[in-house]
Chain A
């Protein structure tokens, strides 16, 4: 795979950086994440790797603005990320979606335009064409009028990607996008993510399958309640680092920290 060159974004001439500095996130009184720091920028595909309960989903939700930050900062374009919610798209885990909701593929993708249209403004032709483009791009044109439970796992994943594209999101946060997909669908999704990053988006995804990390991602963040290591796949995705991430028990890690 290509090395992370961090070329400037293709669809706007700027180069944007996501910085997480000493992030701490708590659920009530339990510290879920502490001292998480890393910096990446658009054009990168970042894997979040760590054992169960390491805080991968928590980190994604914190970046998406779904969880309050106890201390530390999350910056996008050198300002607080909360200001940029329109540029951030969070894709929930498949099991957290109500698939029997009476909504079609197009209906879900249309929701991606709500940040642009606001609560009342009718859809303009620009909105309509953004929706059509997103549907076409994700190869869902034939399925656009289908209810979302009548889709395969890979198609369902693409529906939510299409919504993020319609939103013109710059940062895509995906929670276990490859979970439950078969081999062919996985490689199809991997090439879609590759394409999205090459056009200058920043993709961050939590990931379980160790065998595919090298093929899909540019950078890796090893996470175990804190950031264990971060950097290009070749440097960070090593046995030594993985052992420190997975080898020690969570209870130990808490005390060491």
Chain B
């Protein structure tokens, strides 16, 4: 039994996977609080899909490297994010519709292109992640992205919080609301990219929404939302990677599924805002 539990720690690729899951989960969990408070999950989801055509283009232009994938996906997400803004400003279409058109078109192009490039990595790895295939250099890339993202978000915590709570009052007090919104979006894209190899661009969104959404159902404290989301994201992801090994299921989906199950538990049994609680309180007051 003990041997079976400890087995995953004997393989270097497994150790790397657990460390990566912790790192990515922590960063995504922290950043997810911003996504939830900003109510922009859909937008971030669109941008996560926009990463794929960026990767395809980067491989086409510069070949497959860490940095080309990073830069390509960053470029594509920014291009589609800003492009949707330009389309909505320049026409009568709203930004969500513009974003949907752009990212689905780009995503389709990305799939067609990737299939024809003949890269060794399977399409599935880009879509759903391959956390077992991480190298040490990938870990370092993840570490630096996490470090930068967490650094920026914590350094700007006060103005960001004000902007999210009421952007008008923040503006009236001299907070550069618009610039902060763009910066936040850029950081969220960076965080998405950091989880790309682990869970792929289809599932990255789950990691960047669910942790804080779960804590959102449990707490009224802003700090608890950020740090709780962070801890939940980190540990749930690490445990999911191990569970994936023990139960022989794919690690990327295991992470997102684990987070989803934890959310379900909070949704049903949350002591304050859970469905069960609401149900019993509602009956009492009748």
A107-B222, A115-B174 as given contacts; A98 in contact with B168, CB under 8 Å: no
How many whole Å from A106's CB to the nearest CB in chain B? 10
- Chain B residues 155 to 184 lying within 8 A of chain A, measured CB to CB, are 155-156, 158-159, 161-162, 164-166, 168-169, 171-174
A92-B166, A96-B168, A101-B37 as given contacts; A114 in contact with B220, CB under 8 Å: no
Judging by beta carbons under 8 Å apart, are A96 and B222 in contact? no
Tell me which of A82-90, A204-212, A219-227, A245-253 binds B.
A82-90
Residue of B161, B164, B165 ringed by the most chain A CB atoms within 10 A? B165
- What residues on B are CB-neighbors of A97 within 8 Å? 166
Judging by beta carbons under 8 Å apart, are B221 and A102 in contact? yes
Is A156 located at the chain interface by the 8 A CB criterion? no
Interface string of A28-68 (1 = CB under 8 A from B): 00000000000000000000000000000000010011100
Q: Is the interface of A mostly helix, strand, loop or mixed?
A: mixed
15 CB contacts below 8 A, A to B, read A85-B173, A85-B174, A86-B174, A89-B172, A96-B166, A96-B168, A101-B37, A102-B221, A102-B225, A111-B161, A111-B162, A111-B165, A114-B159, A119-B156, A120-B158
Instruction: State the B residues within 8 Å of A (CB).
Output: 37, 155-156, 158-159, 161-162, 164-166, 168-169, 171-174, 216, 219-222, 224-225
A102-B221, A102-B225, A111-B162 as given contacts; A88 in contact with B156, CB under 8 Å: no
Find A104's partner among B158, B169, B221 (CB 8 Å cutoff). B221
Judging by beta carbons under 8 Å apart, are A92 and B221 in contact? no
Judging by beta carbons under 8 Å apart, are A102 and B216 in contact? yes
- What residues on A are CB-neighbors of B173 within 8 Å? 85-86, 114-115, 167
Find B159's partner among A66, A119, A146 (CB 8 Å cutoff). A119
A102-B216, A119-B156 as given contacts; A90 in contact with B165, CB under 8 Å: no
- What residues on A are CB-neighbors of B172 within 8 Å? 64-66, 85, 88-90
CA distance A131 to B202 in the complex (A): 45
Judging by beta carbons under 8 Å apart, are B168 and A114 in contact? no
Nearest residue, chain B, Cβ from A120: B155
CA distance A97 to B162 in the complex (A): 12
- What residues on B are CB-neighbors of A111 within 8 Å? 161-162, 165, 169
CA distance A65 to B172 in the complex (A): 6
- What residues on A are CB-neighbors of B216 within 8 Å? 102
CA distance A103 to B173 in the complex (A): 19
CA distance A150 to B248 in the complex (A): 46
Q: How many residues of A contact B (CB 8 A)?
A: 28
Judging by beta carbons under 8 Å apart, are B169 and A90 in contact? yes
Find B165's partner among A89, A98, A115, A120 (CB 8 Å cutoff). A98
- What residues on B are CB-neighbors of A155 within 8 Å? none
How many whole Å from B229's CB to the nearest CB in chain A? 11
Given A101-B222, A115-B174, list of 13 further CB < 8 A pairs?
A: A86-B174, A90-B172, A101-B37, A101-B165, A103-B165, A103-B222, A111-B162, A114-B159, A115-B173, A117-B158, A119-B159, A120-B155, A167-B173
Instruction: State the A residues within 8 Å of B (CB).
Output: 61, 64-66, 85-86, 88-90, 92, 96-98, 101-104, 107-108, 111, 114-115, 117, 119-120, 146-147, 167
CA distance A107 to B225 in the complex (A): 13
How many whole Å from B169's CB to the nearest CB in chain A? 6
How many whole Å from B85's CB to the nearest CB in chain A? 17
Judging by beta carbons under 8 Å apart, are A102 and B220 in contact? yes
- What residues on A are CB-neighbors of B221 within 8 Å? 102-104, 107
Give the top 8 A-B pairs by smallest Cβ distance, nearest first.
A147-B220, A64-B172, A90-B172, A85-B174, A102-B220, A102-B225, A115-B173, A103-B222
Nearest residue, chain A, Cβ from B215: A102
Nearest residue, chain B, Cβ from A146: B220
How many whole Å from B220's CB to the nearest CB in chain A? 4
CA distance A60 to B102 in the complex (A): 39
Judging by beta carbons under 8 Å apart, are A119 and B165 in contact? no
How many whole Å from B118's CB to the nearest CB in chain A? 49
CA distance A83 to B99 in the complex (A): 38
How many whole Å from B209's CB to the nearest CB in chain A? 15
Judging by beta carbons under 8 Å apart, are B161 and A61 in contact? no
Judging by beta carbons under 8 Å apart, are A66 and B162 in contact? no
How many whole Å from A39's CB to the nearest CB in chain B? 21
Nearest residue, chain A, Cβ from B160: A119
A85-B174, A119-B159 as given contacts; A104 in contact with B220, CB under 8 Å: yes
A103-B220, A107-B222 as given contacts; A61 in contact with B168, CB under 8 Å: yes
